Amino acid sequence: MNTSSPLKVFASPPLISTSRTTLKAFSTPKFSPKLPKRTRCMQDSNINLNFGSKPKPNHEFPVSFATASVEAPATTTTRTTSADDKLRLLVSEFRSLTEPIDRVKRLLNYAMDLAPLDDSARVPENRVPGCTTQVWLDVKMDELGRMRFRADSDSEISKGFCSCLIWILDGAKPEEVMNVRGEDLAEMNVGVHGKVQSRVNTWHNVLMSMQKRTMALVVDADVAHRERDRAPPHQHDLLFGYVNGGSYMESSKGRHDYSISLLPLYYDYTI
C-alpha cells in the first residue's frame, strides 16, 4: 500500500517587479508665493546702448548708468528781484506803449492796485512837497533793515506814480533806494496835453521824498546803535580799559575806539 505523504502547498513567493516605480507627479499649487517687488529702472534716453557705434550724448557730462525711477523731491530756489531789475521792467513796459494815452491808462491801472492810507497817516508830516496834488508818503524800516513804503493821493494819476514807485522800492535795501535816479523815471514820459513836465516832477518829488526819509531812518538807526554801545560798562569792558592803561572812565570819555589795540595782551587774534 502505497502511502503518499500529503503534499504541502506552499504559497508562491511574491513576485519582484523589475519595473521602475512610477512617481506620482504633484499637482501645481494653486497659489504663488509673494516675491518682493523689484525696483524698476527706466532707461535714460541720453544713454546709448549701441556699443558698436559712437555715443552721441545730449548732455555735456558723461552718464554711465541708468537713472533710477525713484525721484527726489524737487527743490526750488527763489531769487529776490532787485530794485534795479524792477525799474528796468517798468521802463520797458511803458516804452512798449507808443501812444501817450495808453501810458496814462496803464498808470491808472496801477493806481487801482494801491492800498489807501488811513486818516492817521494823512498828516502834514507825510505830505510830499512840490506836487500839484496832495500826496502822502509813509516810510518805515522793518526789523531786517529793509524799507517799507505806503502812499496815497487825491489824484488817480499821482496814485499811479506812487503805486509804481512802491512796487519798485518796497522791501528794498536803503542803498537800493538811494541808487535810483530821477532820470530813469523821466524816460517813462507819461503825460498828455502838455502835462508831461508836471507829471515828471511828480515822479521826481515822490522819489526824492522816499530817498530823504530813507536816509533819515538810516541815520536814526545808526545813532540808536551807537547809543546802545554807550551802555554802562561791563566787567569785561573794565578789563579792556585796564589793559590799555588808565581807568575805564578816562578811556571812555572820548570817542569809542574799536581798533585791535583794545584786545587784551594775551588774546590770540591771528586769523
Rounded Cα distance, 184 and 85, in Å:
12
Grid coordinates representing 63 are 552718464
Rounded Cα distance, 229 and 71, in Å:
52
Catalytic positions are 131
As beta bridge partners, residue 127 has 136
Q: Are 184 and 88 in contact (CB under 8 A)?
A: no
Handedness of CA 244, 249, 254, 258 (dihedral sign): positive
Amino acid at 95: R
CA separation (Å) from 118 to 132, 133, 136, 150, 155? 21, 18, 11, 10, 16
Backbone torsion region of residue 177, taken as left when φ is above 0, otherwise alpha when ψ lies between -120 and 50, otherwise beta = alpha
Q: Give the DSSP H/E element, type plus range, for residue 215.
A: helix 196-229
CA separation (Å) from 12 to 7, 16, 18, 19, 238? 15, 12, 17, 20, 126
Rounded Cα distance, 90 and 207, in Å:
15
